[in-house]
Amino acid sequence: MLITSWNVNSVRARISNILDYLKKSKTDILMLQEIKTEEINFPFAEFKKVGYNSYVFGQKSYNGVAFISKVKIDEVKTDFLVDERKQSRVIVGDIQYKKNSIKLVNIYVPNGNPIDTDKYDFKKNWLNLFNLKIKKALIKNKNIIIGGDFNIIPEKIDVHDYKKYENDALFKLEIRKKFLELINLGFHDIYRYYNKEKQEYTFWDYTSGAWPKNNGLRIDHFLVSNNILDKIKNVNINKNPRSKVKPSDHTPIELLIN
DNA sequence: ATGGCCGAGATCCTCGGA
């Protein structure tokens, strides 16, 4: 089973790119972030036409997350984390896979820039709350996959020029520590687990020729709980969608389960 | 050496993104 996470930077602006991707990749479950629309304007029919059901937690203009899935997702919840600004950043659901129940947690973490504003505090508070919610969720189900746009560069290897990001909300030590705290609850950053030395990115800014220069960041991640680590067959950053016309600034990360 | 963009929702600019 193939599970993909992709920040699409508007589901409506990106609909043909997303449909192309589904056709080519045959992904079973697509976890979307930054859909930038409410449920009322979500393209349910377009996905239904190609065999996918949509589970949507939308918001007007900003944020918004969704599952696009060929398989049934149970217990879909949009109140896993309710932040102080009531933003649509987390949707969770359970899948049955080979007699295991796996909880999928699809997240869009706040950006947090600039760091001298309340946006940065919002990100810190958000991550604290998220870690707490995951800690509680692990008590009920030890099979958890967290996927999404974390807006966190875990290590120096995950950015083209780390010195430029030392005072950026994506790479500040304080933020990376929150990511480590989350991992220490019992997860692996599955991309880095399989690729100890590889330098690949999931995001390239639209500006400054970042894509042709490969000035990227690895900020989209899959965290897999220890209990199901042996069920993971492969993980891949698929750069193809970033090279298309009218692309998202992020590209999909794909997780293959045994 | 620097900087270059894009989407939504409202106008012809602002906000947010990273």
Q: Per residue in A24-68, pLDDT tens?
A: 999 999 999 999 999 999 999 999 999 999 999 999 999 999 999
Of the candidates A245, A217, A226, the residue with the CA atom closest to the CA atom of residue A149: A217
- Note the pLDDT of residue A208: 86
pLDDT of residue A245: 92
Share of chain A above pLDDT 70, in %: 100
- The SS3 assignment for A24 reads helix
Average pLDDT, chain A: 96
The arithmetic mean of pLDDT across residues A73-93, rounded, is 95
What is the rounded CA–CA span in Å between residue A227 and residue A101? 12
- pLDDT, tens only, A119-145: 999 999 999 999 999 999 999 999 999
Q: Residue A161 in contact with residue A201, Cβ under 8 Å?
A: no
The CATH class that applies to domain A2-257 reads alpha beta
Orientation angle between helical segments A118-140 and A173-183, nearest 10 degrees? 10
Distance B17 C1' – A10 CA (angstroms):
12
A60 CA to B8 C1' distance (Å): 8
pTM, two decimal places: 0.96
**pLDDT value of position A1:** 97
Residues with CB under 7 A from strand B: A 7, 9-10, 12-13, 34, 36-37, 60-62, 110-111, 113-114, 119, 149, 151, 170, 203, 205-209, 217, 219, 246, 249-250
- Res. A258: pLDDT tops 90: no
Nucleotides of B under 7 A from a protein CB: 3-9, 16-18
pLDDT range class, residue A5, cuts 50, 70, 90: very high
C1’ B4 / CA A104, Å: 38
Q: Domain-by-domain residue ranges, chain A? A: 2-257
pLDDT in tens, A157-171: 999 999 999 999 999
Burial status of residue A114 (CB atoms within 10 A of its CB: 0-12, 13-18, 19 or more)? exposed
Query: Residues A176-200: what's their mean pLDDT?
Result: 97
**Taking residues A91-115, what's their average pLDDT?**
95
Percent helix, strand, coil in chain A, to 5, is 30, 30, 40
